[in-house]
Structure 1
Amino acid sequence: MGSAAAQSVTTGAVQGRVVDHATKEPLAGVTVVAIGASPEPQSTLTEEDGTYKITELLPGVYVVTFYIGDLTVSRSGIRVSANDITPVHQKIRLTDQPGTIIEVDSPPPQINPHSTTKGSKYDRRHIERVPTQNRGFEGTAGNQAGTHNDGVGLAVSGSTSLENRYLVDGIDITGLTYGTVGTPILSEFIEEVEVIAGGYNAEWGRAIGGIVNVITRSGSNTFRGSVFGTMSPGFLAKRGQSTPVNASSIDVESNRAYSADFGVELGGPILKDRLFFYVGFAPQLARTDYTRITKRQTDCRQLLPSGELSGCDPRLSSQGGYADGTADVDPATGFYITDELDRDVRSGSSQQYSALAKLNLAVSPKDQAQLSMIAVPSRGESPGLYGLPSSGGRSDGLTTDAALRWTSKLNEDRTEVEALVAWHRSTSNSGSIDPSLDSQPRQILRGGNLGTWSGLGGESARTAAGCTDGGAGDPYSAITNCPMETVSYAIGGPGSISRDSEDRRMARLTATQRLRAAGTHELKVGLDFESDTKETSRLYSGGAFLQNDVGNSIRVTRWVQLAPAGDKDPRFDQMCSTADAMGGNGMAGTKTYACDFLSGTPGAPGTSIVGSTINWAAFLRDSWAIRPNLVFNAGVRYEEQRLRYASNLQGTDDPLTGNKIGKDAMTLDKNFAPRLGLIWDPTKIGASKIFGSWGRFYESIPMDINDRSFGGEVSFTQTFTSGQGRQPCGPTDPRIGGPDGVGCLTPSGPATQETLLGSSGVLVAPGIKAQYMDEVLAGVEYQLSDNLKLGITYQNRQLGRVIEDVSTDGASTYIIANPGEWSKEEETKLLQRIARTDDAVTRGRLERQLTLYKGIRGFDRPLRRYDAIELNLARQFSKGLFAQASYTYSRTQGNYPGSLSYDNGQIDPNISSQYDLIELLANRTGKLPQDRPHSVKVDGHYKFDLGENNALTFGGRIRMVSGVPKSALGAHYLYGPDESFVLPRGVMGRSEIQHGIDVHLAYARKLSKTMTAEVYFDVFNLYDNQGTFDTDQTYAPAVRRTAPGAGGGSENNVNPIVGGGYEDLMWAKTIDSTGNETGVPTARNPNFGKATSRYSPTSARIGFRLTF
């Protein structure tokens, strides 16, 4: 008897074969009963061939008992996991005396001989005894081989962290906007965490990364619960190693002040054997202290002929000193040498309250229902660090989830039906740390100096005095003391204000049928439907966002709404102009629209955008046990996704096509995803397997694309420059060093340049197809002994097709397309349509679209290939010891990292800048940011019994992972900072190997038969290895300054040096605003290659748990 998976994502199963010990003949009609974590016992009878299967078992430990005649055989310690099958085979001596009861304490094999899934399951013991800093399920999920933290979340098997799917008790909690974790779940409420990193069957979809399946705890016939708490005080943590920023006069060190949680969880019967409850509640509180250090550069040293630096003598060289008008640089590090001026501490805080409730109803042993609810309100504040203290932000939100699940067993347990309806909702509000500033525009100052900006009132008297240039007490009068070349300075309001919400309503129905035909078949069919809604706000505080390149230019960016054709609404009282790609030069090349500047007031007209997406899928899977030790899994999944226009756009005119906008912006259908797998158990007793699988997996596009591309997003940017008697934004503000950008909101003169982004709408390439990934998996697992398992797995993943926005006319028009491909069939259809069109205007528009679509083929096809060999060793929990270890060698290469653009930090799945322009593709092929060839993970725990009532537990984990590839990036004349790969991707080497050890020590004392008290102590990063997490990869900054901290400057764009090496950087030349190369060498970022973030320092956590 075989199966590809258990019958539900929230429950597991036991199955096996019962035979006569002497003859090995199958025994039919044996009663098999499983008693344990599930509220009620579950039972079945063996078939003619001695096989049986018991499904719908909650995760936990069971006793499986076999009854035949007057003989009883009982197997204890059988652990069942969700979405899994535990093999329990049994030999029975029919010659034993009637009435004999045989008790067997022998763990079943650790190998699931019916599944090709690559992944792990972490039970309650693992969650409690293997320390992770994250108190949610993400930390535990990170123990899976082939995963790592990419700075946003959990990256699985070469994919980005935005390509996973997360479920809790069957509820899809994946964030709708970007694909991140939507609902945090405290580990104290979790029974089991399952991570599926590959090889998943047709039941699973909407993911091209991994699947994380979380099962929370449940009630039973026994009242049980716990009171718990943890505290991570700042005095038990080392200080974070400084990550100074070169050519900046502000450094920030973050250190945890405290992190704590405490709560209670309780479960038990309401009606014995019928109705059970589980509840949990826990506040989580945290504060982080940011030490803000101000510093000034020095000019008092010179490099001696010996190669060493001289001592400090601030006199001018003409006076016998070493001051020469150039800031001192440490030749060993490349950093400017600085004097610390002052330091102060600014704090951020967060509060989160986790609540969970569950009801389980056993209508009968065959019919069961479950109602679950989760609520997590939260709020937080973060201080302004690189700017005024008031430039910080506040946020609050509420996440709620609910689900109702029903399962039934029919036809002597051969038929099973499961139905689920669920709801996920999340709200998010944000603004300034000072609510009165929500009405003020945010202004980012760049290229000035801290001495001047001290006049804004955000710096201490010591900093202001030490940074002031040219004063009587200035020791380095020949240089700018406190330049801010590589870090901006924020003043004003919070910038973006959010009043967002996301809502997912889903339903799923599955049926399983077991039958016999040339072996045993388990047929499973299912249908699921999902309706997603997202409301997002377009709000800039004060109605605008200001970027002030001090002394050079000021850019004012606003959200705007363009007046529909013929609309006479008086609120469209502004005029927005932009270059017309279809026109000529000068006035002929300019388009002007009546528009409304959207205010920063929540609820104002045009500021709320509502989008929606419909997902549905159906699957069919057959798990065919050709023989008891040979299983063939075959399935197919069909998925469809309909991404809709924002409600306010439906029924309006499309500016590109001239047609009325309907409901669906993009329909991705005909997505058939076949899955095949073969498993052979040479031992025939579940102690080994040789397996292989192939599958296709489709992406489910997050709703960020609905907000932006299909939500009518239009921004209006005006660039103002002073000079030749022009001061459109007002005179120089002595506190800034140039005009105040606020003056540009009501300018006295015209802008130098005006640009509308999004005014042309977005085209969707006809015939666009869904993004998918293909995977091949092969491996061997063998049970070396009762408790020891060895496995080796090869995994290959390749993106087959990608959806991204591209521009084939120099960033004037954007097309959602499959880069590198556009079907000839669609081209023929458009040509035929053009031939049938008599209207000259319509014909011209269609011909232009044809030209744009044909240009899609000129893009390189996106590539991402992941190859990995994984060796793993696991020792099952026995006699107090559990251990698992893995070594993964992997390579991730290509030209497209995926949904997360690591290189410039952009989080816009499927509409990033990675494929916007053909000229941006040069040098992008190479080692992708996910490429971390070597990874070692070792987890373990051991429990010592100290007498009858006391126990001591040791736990720990060891980690080692290769560093991240490094590149050299530069600014592009159209797209700005970090969009041009100056050298081929990854040729600058990689950051150092990261390694660390975390340990757990716990002491437990039994206070009574039903009550145990435990205290524990966790230490993270035991030997304080604060390695580099990320480096500054900007080689050529967007602006070349005339002098450090002096403001002003010129563009510093650069073209890729195709196939170049580090030695070629010295020949790079600046590109002007029209894209032409000049003879001016490219200016280098003084912080290039330096660490920008590090891993956390040594810290400790104290915890207690009182269970009853």
Structure 2
Amino acid sequence: MGGVQAQTNTAGVVSGRAVAGDTITVENPATGFSRTITVGADGNYRLSQVPIGQYTVTRKGVDGSTSSRTTNVSVGTSSNVTFVSGTGDAQTLDTVTVVGTGAINPIDVSSVESTTILTAEQIAKIPVARDATSVALLAPGTVRGDAAFGNLASFGGASVAENQYYVNGFNITNTFQNLNFAQIPYEAIAEQQIKTGGYGAEFGRSLGGVVNMITKRGTNEFHAGGNIFWEPEDLREEVKNTYLTTGVLRQDNSKDSQWQAVASVWASGALIKDKLFAYGLISYGRKDNEIYGNVLSSTNSSDQTETPNWLLKMDWNITDNHLLELTAFSDKTETDSDVYLNPVGELNRTTFLGTNFTEQGGENYVLKYTGYLTDNFTLSALAGHSKFSRGQRLRTAGGLDVSYGGDINNPATGCPIITDLRPGYRRAIDGTRASTCNITGAQIVRQDAEDTRDQYRIDAEWQLGDHLLRFGYDVDDFESVDGGSFEGGRVWSYRTDDPDDIPNNGDETDFVREQIVNQGATVKVEQRAYYIQDSWNVTDNFVAYIGGRWDSFKNINGQGQAYVDIENQFGPRLGFSWDVNGDSTFKVFGNAGRYALPLTATVAVRGASASLFTREEFDYTGFDPVTGEPTGLTSWGNFRFVNGEFGTAKNPLTIASKNLDPMYQDEYILGFQKALNDNFSLGIRGIYRELKAAIDDNCDYTAILRAGGFAQDDDGHWLRNGQEAVLPNAGFPYCRMFNPGEDAVFLTDFFNTGVLEETTVPGELLSPKAKRKYAALEFFFDGNWDKFFLQGSYTYAKSRGNTEGGVKSDIGQSDTNVTQDFDYLELTVDSYGYLPNDRRHSLKLFGNYEISDEWSVGANLLVQSGRPMNCLGVLDTDPVEPGVQAHPYGSSFFRCDGIPTPRGTGGRLSWSSNVDLNVAYRPSYVEGLQFKVDIFNLMNSQKVTSVNEQVEDGTSGTRLETAFLPASFQAPRSVRFMVQYDF
């Protein structure tokens, strides 16, 4: 192995061994990039921060002899080019050979990471959706996340909200909920690096994985082209229908349809030969969806999504030692959903109600400088700015605009939401109450909702003999404008009070509940980190990696006040790589590390900023047949603020425990990789991850009252020394951020006097310790021959614990960091078991075979075991102890029919298999022209991938007709056509 190594997130490394005093030149003829270095006294050389591409490496000996070879440089890896054999005084010149196109990349013996790299050429040859998540799912240790969260991947047992995404070194993760990221026009991606574990200290803020993308760039040769991808609706199979437990049809997809197309054009070349290059791409996509779906729904929709995207990449070789690059792109997506009334119980489309306009994405600009200041010292600096829109507005059939401006005292306009929660026998008397003018039936996001990121980082690399030092500093400021309000400003819920639960015996009383939830704020997350790491060549064949990362996180509410401020959370990183044979053909490696995750921005919008959440019950005499609103109202006089949300800002000192630690995880990996010959390598690694601390919210105010010396009297009042606690108030929020299982130190204004008391609440009064353990054994291989390449993996994994992490797939809850997992102690009973991302077995194979110069075929196979299921029901509400009632959280407990059903014991979903195929034709008579057909899910397998795990009615405890109703299936068979021309 030649010299110590380190990884980078935008470029690669060329390194090796030669005779001391020789000069080594790496040159890319396509861009004119060239660097020359002198081989050190120990015979090692290393050129860092080399842009990806194909290079000629030339050795000029002290004796005047020369030799050269070609090598490919990929992101974050080291290309080893060695010109001598032996060590010390026994060095002799080797015969230099050029690596053929059918050879695999040499094993990167410098790396301790678990990384998969796929190039644009490889991705184009296999049948896979052209987006970052679909490509990431080809890597070992990744599984598709729950459908409730969209197209996201789970890495190594972590939730889908615990990953980080980069393009050309810039963080494109949407930190509002960590459930989105900028969607780069995928035709512009040159390489995608998928880090599933063991990544170095320069990467952080992730417990799952890292997706790192590098865009294409211009060269001295002019290139241009375009393509069209088209997925017709006539060749897309229908999704399976679903039925209630009574056999009644629930989901009828017979009228649903979908088609989509994406057209792209691009051009690249040199504006100044060898100096200034540009690559530009314009892409336009459209997707049309007709969604009838739920027979029991009162509406259906027709959706049209447009993606007018673009990307520009410019590279300026100021000199051989100073480079400047600009990346700019737009990923805006606009969706217009026309909503129609649907007669409940039928599948029909009647009156047009209006249009729901939503948008996602925005513009991103990144500037990066790289300076090779000496042969041994490299410096890079990056500055980036992005905006991501999440706005929403409605327009009624009559042309009236409906929106929410974010003012909590002025709710959204439009028709209110109507729900009829009366039992069936009451609805049978006078029909189901419903609105005939409400468009969404949900909260709408404020029209100006958006996220802004400003990132600055500086990274340095310094070679000191056998030590390679990397260090840097990262500033990442993220601001979110957010808020929501129910369409029409409120929800009216029709209910029935039946004291003895005996139908139609004359004691039933119908009433209606009004609920208002308005929230809106501009909140921030300020993130700082610095790191240092040393890759030390203990011997020529053995590298020891020692590193440390210090993360600081500050969360700021809508009033500009910090409610969480964590400084210098230490994350050690240790590892080794042993080049057993000294020729990069057999590597044994291992690493251990600690990784931290900050709170997302969404926590502050409701939990730490001013917001409004009220309820009130009424008697009524009638209802409006159009809006569904009750008429003839008489209040019960019980207007109340719920959960401490009372329209005024909370005291930021009371929102989180004073001793709050960030969410962090420890990881250990041990493995080996061996090249059996020039065309085939295989490897095995064992992975163990354990969550050491989580952050979530707890809403059990009784725990803090008890710890504060209060006791409850027979009337339910909480008293201390005869004085009653005043709750809630600005200094006494019900829900607070804490580390589950740990003692929490809260500041509380018990009597609404403005005086905060410090109270230590024992962990056992709040919840058990958050637990998540992931253990896996991964087998992976890489084969590459002149006309055939094949990659794949098999993973055996177990994921156990009492929390999935940032989100909660059990019920599709996307409230990152504030799921209901630890809201109350009762919710944690029997919650330990196999977690939603537990897929015990995963087999992945993908590759391509060139039948001739004109024809090729590709395939992609996935075989996977099913996820575990839960049976969630109501908890017996008999007193836990005299005077203390269990918290009624509906159908959220690990109980069914009153019997404990611990997590993961509700059975498992079926194994699933998916076969994708493609055929490509490149006619010899037109160079650059290509036709391709991809068939996804060839066998049209539609196994269930998730179900409704809330099995009992949240009020009565009776078994629901939707118990275990399929919530998602494998995507049905579809066909994608492509025509492309390059010149």
For the superposition of Structure 1 and Structure 2, which TM-score range results when normalised by the shorter chain? 0.7 to 0.9
Q: Report deviation, 1:40.
A: 1.7
What is the match of residue 164 of structure 1? 163
Q: 2:330 aligns with which of 362, 370, 375?
A: 375
Alpha-carbon distance in structure 2 between the residues aligned to 1:1018 and 1:944: 17
Question: Counterpart of 1:542 in 2: which secondary structure?
Answer: helix
What is the match of residue 474 of structure 1? none
Q: Report deviation, 1:367.
A: 0.4
Q: 1:81 aligns with which of 49, 74, 88?
A: 74
Question: Counterpart of 1:127 in 2: which secondary structure?
Answer: helix
Q: 1:117 aligns with which of 96, 113, 117?
A: 113
Question: Counterpart of 2:112 in 1: which secondary structure?
Answer: coil
Map Cα deviations across residues 210-267 of structure 1 (whole Å, 9 max, x no partner).
0000111111111112211110001111222212344666524274431100010111
What is the match of residue 387 of structure 2? 425
Q: Please, what TM-score do these two structures have when normalized by structure 1?
A: 0.75
Alpha-carbon distance in structure 2 between the residues aligned to 1:922 and 1:490: 42
Q: 1:742 aligns with which of 629, 651, 658?
A: 629
Question: Counterpart of 2:701 in 1: which secondary structure?
Answer: coil
Q: Report deviation, 1:857.
A: 5.2
Alignment of 1:106-505 (within 5 A): 107=103, 109-133=105-129, 135-150=130-145, 151=147, 152=149, 153-246=152-245, 250-253=250-253, 255-292=256-293, 294=295, 346-384=301-339, 390=353, 393-411=356-374, 413-432=375-394, 434=396, 436=400, 438=402, 439-447=413-421, 492-494=438-440, 495-498=442-445, 499=447, 500-505=449-454
Map Cα deviations across residues 404-430 of structure 1 (whole Å, 9 max, x no partner).
10000122x210000000112111221
Map Cα deviations across residues 63-83 of structure 1 (whole Å, 9 max, x no partner).
33333355433323x222112
Q: Report deviation, 1:1018.
A: 0.1
8 Å Cα contact 2:3-2:17 kept in structure 1:
no
Alpha-carbon distance in structure 2 between the residues aligned to 1:493 and 1:840: 43
Q: 1:1034 aligns with which of 950, 954, 976?
A: 950
Alpha-carbon distance in structure 2 between the residues aligned to 1:294 and 1:885: 42
Q: 2:742 aligns with which of 821, 837, 856?
A: 821
8 Å Cα contact 1:31-1:45 kept in structure 2:
yes
8 Å Cα contact 2:861-2:916 kept in structure 1:
yes
What is the match of residue 706 of structure 2? none
Question: Counterpart of 1:1083 in 2: which secondary structure?
Answer: coil
Opposite residue 205 of structure 1, the aligned amino acid is G
8 Å Cα contact 2:419-2:491 kept in structure 1:
no
Alpha-carbon distance in structure 2 between the residues aligned to 1:489 and 1:872: 55
Alpha-carbon distance in structure 2 between the residues aligned to 1:39 and 1:936: 43
Map Cα deviations across residues 846-901 of structure 1 (whole Å, 9 max, x no partner).
55x526x336654200000000000111113x302111110000000010110011
Matched, 1:522 2:434: no
Pair member with larger Rg: 1
Q: 1:921 aligns with which of 819, 828, 831?
A: 828
Alpha-carbon distance in structure 2 between the residues aligned to 1:786 and 1:714: 66
8 Å Cα contact 2:698-2:766 kept in structure 1:
no
What is the match of residue 797 of structure 2? 890
Opposite residue 820 of structure 2, the aligned amino acid is S
Q: 2:902 aligns with which of 951, 967, 984?
A: 984
Aligned length: 884
Mark the CA change 1:101 to 1:971 in structure 2 (over 3 Å): closer, same or farther: closer
Q: Report deviation, 1:378.
A: 2.0
Question: Counterpart of 2:187 in 1: which secondary structure?
Answer: helix
Moved more, 550-559 or 124-133: 550-559
8 Å Cα contact 1:233-1:256 kept in structure 2:
no
8 Å Cα contact 1:437-1:492 kept in structure 2:
no
- Please list every run of 5 or more consecutive structure 1 residues that lacks an aligned counterpart in the other structure: 19-25, 297-342, 454-468, 471-479, 561-606, 651-662, 1039-1050, 1053-1081
Opposite residue 672 of structure 1, the aligned amino acid is F
Question: Counterpart of 2:873 in 1: which secondary structure?
Answer: strand
Mark the CA change 1:690 to 1:121 in structure 2 (over 3 Å): closer, same or farther: same
Matched, 1:937 2:844: yes
Alpha-carbon distance in structure 2 between the residues aligned to 1:344 and 1:840: 47
Alpha-carbon distance in structure 2 between the residues aligned to 1:912 and 1:386: 33
Alpha-carbon distance in structure 2 between the residues aligned to 1:130 and 1:904: 34
Matched, 1:731 2:622: yes
8 Å Cα contact 1:431-1:496 kept in structure 2:
no
Q: Report deviation, 1:913.
A: 1.2
Question: Counterpart of 1:611 in 2: which secondary structure?
Answer: strand
Map Cα deviations across residues 364-420 of structure 1 (whole Å, 9 max, x no partner).
111000011111222112354886753763212441111110000122x21000000
Mark the CA change 1:985 to 1:383 in structure 2 (over 3 Å): closer, same or farther: farther
Alpha-carbon distance in structure 1 between the residues aligned to 2:817 and 2:156: 20
Opposite residue 577 of structure 2, the aligned amino acid is I
Q: Report deviation, 1:1091.
A: 1.8
8 Å Cα contact 1:1026-1:1097 kept in structure 2:
yes
Q: Report deviation, 1:958.
A: 0.4
What is the match of residue 14 of structure 2? 14
Question: Counterpart of 2:892 in 1: which secondary structure?
Answer: strand
Alpha-carbon distance in structure 2 between the residues aligned to 1:215 and 1:646: 36
Question: Counterpart of 1:980 in 2: which secondary structure?
Answer: coil
Moved more, 500-509 or 537-546: 537-546
Opposite residue 684 of structure 2, the aligned amino acid is I
What is the match of residue 317 of structure 1? none
Mark the CA change 1:1092 to 1:497 in structure 2 (over 3 Å): closer, same or farther: closer
8 Å Cα contact 1:73-1:92 kept in structure 2:
no
Alpha-carbon distance in structure 1 between the residues aligned to 2:804 and 2:529: 27
8 Å Cα contact 2:201-2:548 kept in structure 1:
yes
Mark the CA change 1:55 to 1:716 in structure 2 (over 3 Å): closer, same or farther: same
Alpha-carbon distance in structure 2 between the residues aligned to 1:191 and 1:927: 38
Matched, 1:680 2:603: no
8 Å Cα contact 2:554-2:564 kept in structure 1:
yes
Question: Counterpart of 2:358 in 1: which secondary structure?
Answer: strand
Q: 1:794 aligns with which of 673, 676, 686?
A: 686
Alpha-carbon distance in structure 2 between the residues aligned to 1:252 and 1:259: 22
> Between the two proteins, what is the percent identity of the paired residues?
23
Alpha-carbon distance in structure 1 between the residues aligned to 2:301 and 2:322: 57
Matched, 1:996 2:903: no
Alpha-carbon distance in structure 2 between the residues aligned to 1:419 and 1:284: 34
What is the match of residue 772 of structure 1? 664
What is the match of residue 510 of structure 1? 459
RMSD between superposed Cα atoms in Å: 3.2
Q: Report deviation, 1:1086.
A: 2.3
8 Å Cα contact 1:243-1:1093 kept in structure 2:
no
What is the match of residue 595 of structure 1? none
8 Å Cα contact 1:16-1:52 kept in structure 2:
yes
What is the match of residue 299 of structure 1? none
Alpha-carbon distance in structure 1 between the residues aligned to 2:336 and 2:211: 29
Mark the CA change 1:552 to 1:758 in structure 2 (over 3 Å): closer, same or farther: same
Mark the CA change 1:157 to 1:292 in structure 2 (over 3 Å): closer, same or farther: closer
Alpha-carbon distance in structure 2 between the residues aligned to 1:51 and 1:92: 12
What is the match of residue 937 of structure 2? 1021
Q: Report deviation, 1:521.
A: 0.8
Map Cα deviations across residues 243-299 of structure 1 (whole Å, 9 max, x no partner).
234466652427443110001011111111111111101101001122447599xxx
Alignment of 1:854-873 (within 5 A): 854=762, 858-873=766-781
8 Å Cα contact 2:242-2:250 kept in structure 1:
no
Opposite residue 363 of structure 2, the aligned amino acid is T
Opposite residue 47 of structure 1, the aligned amino acid is G
Alpha-carbon distance in structure 2 between the residues aligned to 1:858 and 1:542: 37
Q: 1:32 aligns with which of 21, 25, 40?
A: 25
What is the match of residue 707 of structure 2? none
